[in-house]
A = this chain, B = another copy of it.
Amino acid sequence: MPETINIDALKADEASLRARYQKFKNMGLRLDMTRGKPAPEQLDLANDMINILSAKDYKDINGVDCRNYGGLDGLAEAKKLFADFLEVNTDEIIIGGNASLNIMHDIIVRAITHGTCDSDTPWGKLNKIKFLCPAPGYDRHFAICEHFGIEMITIGLEDNGDPKMDEVQKLVANDDSIKGMWFVPKYGNPTGLSVSDATVDKLASMPTAAKDFRIMWDNAYTVHHLNDNHDKIKNLLEACKANGNDNRAFIIGSTSKVSFAGAGVSMVGCSQANIAWLKSHLSIQTIGPDKLNQLRHIKFFKNMDGIKAHMQKHAAIIKPKFEKVLEILENELGKKNIAKWSNPNGGYFINFDVPNNCAKKVVAMASEAGVKLTGAGATFPYKKDPNDCNIRIAPTLPSITEIAQAMEIVAICVQIAAIENL
């Protein structure tokens, strides 16, 4: 990736690098840096939520019996709390089940089977539909597109992590088969970067050939700061409304990495027309979400201040892990002009770019030495990284000792792969 690699210096180290690699290989390590899973210590922070309800504590503030059927779009208190969380109005939110992925998946499905509230035709009845996929991005977004035969157009990123907007604007203006776009706008997956105001404005205002164009704004890391000086992003839904494109934005979030991954609460924020559209489909699919789990979240967090204070505890656990990754990379690779990496202000990932045509080799070599990394290419549509250079580092789950070992191995692999590729 970087322009000039100091080949001679690298080659001088080759014997030592191979010896270190072999030493690690002989250790039979089993380290996992693949997925953005919270560490047990992070999950411990919310343990008191597990039994926060007593056996008689099943009604919400309005007297709703959370044990029984009903309440398609969530408890009023949950809507209030998570409207603050997503930065939308309380009539612009629906509370879902335990997974925001499910919400996103089902929005795409409904557009395919029925069309959006602005579609003339269900997407599934059209010859071809396409989505813009800024990449590197989140593999599960791309998996949804691939599963439903939605053609993905890879959009490159600027250095600040924003999608290349000239390209985006040109494509959506001229091709009405482009129906949407994925993006993780804050502390992006895997870039760790947050979208600029200018790009939000362009996304909200750009003319699109498809009148039912949708932005799947996966705000998964909205409160997941690593430092006190938080990133702030412009509100896409408000910007869309200001530009008369009210229905363009679906803002999606969850507490998977706030309370419990797998037993959290998910939510979607959007225009009232989109809310009505979602409800018309939801009412066929379910009688309602798990309100007891919503009640647990309400009692535990109380309000946004509660969530913010809780996230500081997360940061205290995971920030040293991010720092350890950066420290090892700096120590091993810092002066070698061989790779570059992000220094995120929040989120769950460090973006790591190795020399072109080396990412697959690095992942394979690391695996042989007992370090599992996210598959090379996973962050791109169809798992195809055009430069084979991007690796996603997920530091939250392993311990700091494991991270130090794993990253040393990865750094060694990068150097050996670079030498072999030269």
Contacts and interface: CB of A to CB of B under 8 A. Distances in A.
B54 A51 contact: yes
Contacts of A355: none
Interface residues of A, number: 55
A177 B271 CA distance: 38
A127 interface: no
A67 interface: yes
Given A68-B260, A263-B293, A285 B102 contact: yes
Interface in A4-58: 35, 37-38, 40, 43, 46-48, 50-51, 53-58
A105 interface: yes
Interface string A257-287: 0001111000000000000000001001111
B43 A50 contact: no
Contacts of A66: 262-263
A165 to B, nearest CB: 29
Taking each of A35, A97, A101, A262, which has the highest tally of chain B beta carbons within 10 Å of its own beta carbon?
A262
How many copies of the polypeptide does the oligomer hold? 2
Taking each of A35, A148, A292, which has the highest tally of chain B beta carbons within 10 Å of its own beta carbon?
A292
Contacts of A140: 284
A69 to B, nearest CB: 4
Provide the main secondary structure of the chain A interface: loop
A307 interface: no
Given A70-B262, A124-B113, A55 B65 contact: no
A76 interface: no
A378 to B, nearest CB: 14
B143 A68 contact: no
A113 B148 contact: yes
Contacts of A106: 285
A209 interface: no
Nearest to A143: B284
Interface string A91-107: 00000011101100110
Interface in A108-152: 109, 112-113, 124, 140, 143-144, 147-148
A289 interface: yes
A53 B56 CA distance: 15
B287 A290 contact: no
A99 B293 contact: no
12 contacts: A43-B58, A46-B67, A51-B51, A51-B54, A101-B286, A101-B287, A102-B285, A109-B109, A113-B113, A144-B284, A260-B292, A263-B290
